[in-house]
């Protein structure tokens, strides 16, 4: 049975695309819609703008991208995150990050490389946050350093996801990005979820806790 699992998942994906979405919503640009869905499944967790996507995929307008993305979200194939901003106007105009409903489904319909480990882990974390009913955004500091997730803006928790922190350059980049966002939002704690690393980093702006994503996933979620 295992040798046929990718084929089964592909059929599930095709059924959702055709029966649940294309037919249900009367989509006329079938190839465009399929290409957009495949793009999101290939480039999941990446930041994208409506207009650049329209140009890349040959759509006539950014509005079509936005409408089709809304349909994919309504069909629970993907989830989109906006960039958090104190200005709702800037928040609505921000690029989106798109996540997919299932890692196995993603691997079945898109080409996978070893570099996808980090994306798969980040996607898993987003799915767990959604399962817990968390309100989630991504966040960028004024100097354009990004934190993957901001949860509960009233009392925000900043969360970074990094599969492997063993490389000093990667470690420094992830910690510095989280530090910058913590400082900007006046938070004294941040969280980095990894594949298997545990530890704490004390900084001038607070404490950054590192823990394996699986350990976080089976624990109790607490806003900080």
Task: Return the domain boundaries, the chain.
Answer: 2-112, 123-217
- How does residue 89 score in pLDDT terms, banded at 50, 70 and 90? confident
Question: SS3 of 69, please?
Answer: helix
Tell me 84's DSSP state: P
Structure tokens at 116: 């996808």
The CA-based angle 222-86-62, given to 5 degrees, is 105
**166 phi and psi angles, rounded to 5 deg:** -75, -30
Over residues 48-69, the pLDDT tens digits come to: 999 999 999 999 999 999 999 9
* Region of poorest pLDDT, from 32-36, 135-139, 171-175, 203-207: 203-207
**For the chain, what percent of residues have pLDDT higher than 90?**
83
In sequence order, what are the beta bridge partners of 138? 83
What pLDDT, on the 0 to 100 scale, is given for residue 6? 83
Read off the pLDDT of each residue in 91-95 and give the average, rounded to a whole number. 83
The fold adopted by the segment(s) 2-112 is: Arc Repressor Mutant, subunit A (1.10.10)
Nearest to 80 by CA among 88, 91, 69: 69
Reading the block at residue 53, the tokens are 């996507």
pTM, two decimal places: 0.91
pLDDT at residue 90 tops 60: yes
Closest CA to 74 of 63, 66, 62: 66
Joined together, the tokens standing for residue 67 give 């409408």
């Amino acid at each position: 049975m295992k040798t046929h699992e990718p084929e089964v998942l592909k059929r599930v994906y095709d059924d959702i695309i055709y029966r649940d979405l294309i037919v249900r919503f009367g989509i006329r640009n079938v190839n465009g819609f399929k290409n957009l869905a495949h793009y999101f499944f290939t480039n999941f967790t990446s930041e994208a703008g409506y207009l650049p996507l329209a140009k890349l995929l040959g759509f006539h307008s950014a509005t079509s991208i936005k409408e089709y993305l809304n349909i994919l979200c309504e069909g629970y194939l993907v989830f989109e995150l906006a960039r958090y901003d104190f200005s709702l106007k800037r928040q609505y105009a921000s690029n989106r990050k798109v996540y997919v409903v299932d890692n196995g489904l993603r691997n079945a319909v898109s080409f996978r490389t070893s570099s996808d480990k980090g994306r798969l882990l980040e996607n898993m974390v987003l799915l767990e946050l959604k399962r817990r009913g968390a309100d989630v955004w991504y966040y960028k500091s004024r100097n354009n350093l990004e934190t993957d997730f901001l949860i509960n803006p009233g009392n925000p928790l900043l969360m970074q996801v990094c599969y492997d922190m063993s490389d000093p350059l990667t470690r420094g980049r992830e910690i510095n990005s989280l530090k910058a966002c913590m400082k900007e939002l006046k938070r004294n704690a941040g969280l980095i979820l990894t594949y298997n690393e545990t530890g704490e980093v004390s900084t001038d702006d607070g404490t950054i806790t590192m823990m394996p994503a699986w350990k976080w996933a089976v624990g109790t979620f607490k806003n900080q």
